[in-house]
Structure 1
Amino acid sequence: MSSARKSTKRSRPEPQSLKKQAQNAKLQDDSEDLDVSGVSTEVKSKIDELKSKLGKERQNFAKTLSKSSKECESILKDEAAKFEQLHHKFMKEKADHLQFEEDKERLYMRYEQLRKKEKTVISEQERFCTENLAQLEESLKKKKRTGK
């Protein structure tokens, strides 16, 4: 039967026990609603606490990471400066060494030229001396012949 239509039947009074059960059920439903809403509120507050805690941890982590990053940047900058100095020193020493090697090669070439020249001069002197000795011996032989 529809609730919009009035029943023609006469309603019977409900027994007392059924009324008590209905009231108890209603109170129980209300307390369960309160319990559910309390639990819901508690869960929401726990979630909010966790969000807050995670936010703080994230901020601390970001600060620590930023600090660590700055330290690394500083160390890297110092090491880069040291590397540049060492590189500059190495390149200077390399240039000096190459210049030394070039000078050494040039001196060795000059030494070889002077040695060849010296050998030529010595052989010319030996030839000159040999010719002079031959002339002197010849002249001495002539004098001996003429002197006898």
Structure 2
Amino acid sequence: MAPGEIPGADADLGLDLSSDIQGILTALQQVRKKAKTDGQKKNEEILNSVKSDILSLADEAKLKSDKERQTLLKAATKLAKECEASLKAEATKYQSIYEKFCKEREDHLRSYEDTFSKFEEGKEALLTRLEQQRKKEKTLVSDLQKSCSDKIAAAEEQVKKKSQEDKSFTMLRKTLGSFFEDIED
């Protein structure tokens, strides 16, 4: 049995039916192609519509952006002119102050040098006094050390003497103690 044949039908009927089915299949394919073509046309129409909407939006955005740029450019130009005028005024003030400073600078430098000179003289006098004070302190410390050494030596001598006296006294007591013991016996 061939594809497209109906089982149990006669061969003529089968051929007619087969050609009818083939015709129907061909018609369905044409309908499908047409639907596909119509779908593509519809998609193209949608895409073209979206494309024109996007281009329109882009043109509007560009116009708006150009207007905003022009507004910003005008504002920047105005600000630059104001800034330039302000800078010129400040430069004039600065020049005036600078010239005044230059005139007074010599007086200030002279005053500075006088002050520095007085400071140096005062510093030298203080250094001299400091050196004298150090010498006095060294002498005082040396004298104090000598005095302390003498007192320590005298104290050691007294302790030594007392220690010898204590030993002599202990010896005397022992001697007297043994003497009295001998007398009692």
In 2, the alpha carbon distance for the partners of 1:60 and 1:48 equals 18
Match of 2:93 among 75, 97, 100: 100
In 2, the alpha carbon distance for the partners of 1:60 and 1:35 equals 37
Structure 1 residues 41-97: Cα deviation after superposition (integer angstroms, max 9, x where no partner): 011001001101110110010001100111011001101110111111111111111
Deviating runs (4+, > 4 A) in structure 1?
110-113
Number of equivalent positions? 100
Matched residue of 1:51: which SS?
helix
What's the TM-score once normalised by structure 1's chain length?
0.62
What amino acid sits opposite 1:69 in the alignment? Answer: K
Give ranges in structure 1 of 5+ residues lacking alignment: 1-15, 117-148
Match of 1:55 among 48, 51, 59: 48
- Return the index of the structure with the highest Cα Rg: 2
Structure 1 residues 100-124: Cα deviation after superposition (integer angstroms, max 9, x where no partner): 10011223344568x79xxxxxxxx
Aligned to 2:66: 73
What's the TM-score once normalised by structure 2's chain length?
0.50
Matched residue of 2:10: which SS?
helix
Pick which of 91-100 and 17-26 moved more: 91-100
Q: RMSD between aligned alpha carbons?
A: 2.0
In 2, the alpha carbon distance for the partners of 1:59 and 1:105 equals 66
Matched, 1:42 2:42: no
In proportion to residue count, which structure has more helix? 2
Percent pairwise identity? 2
In 2, the alpha carbon distance for the partners of 1:96 and 1:110 equals 22
In 1, the alpha carbon distance for the partners of 2:23 and 2:40 equals 25
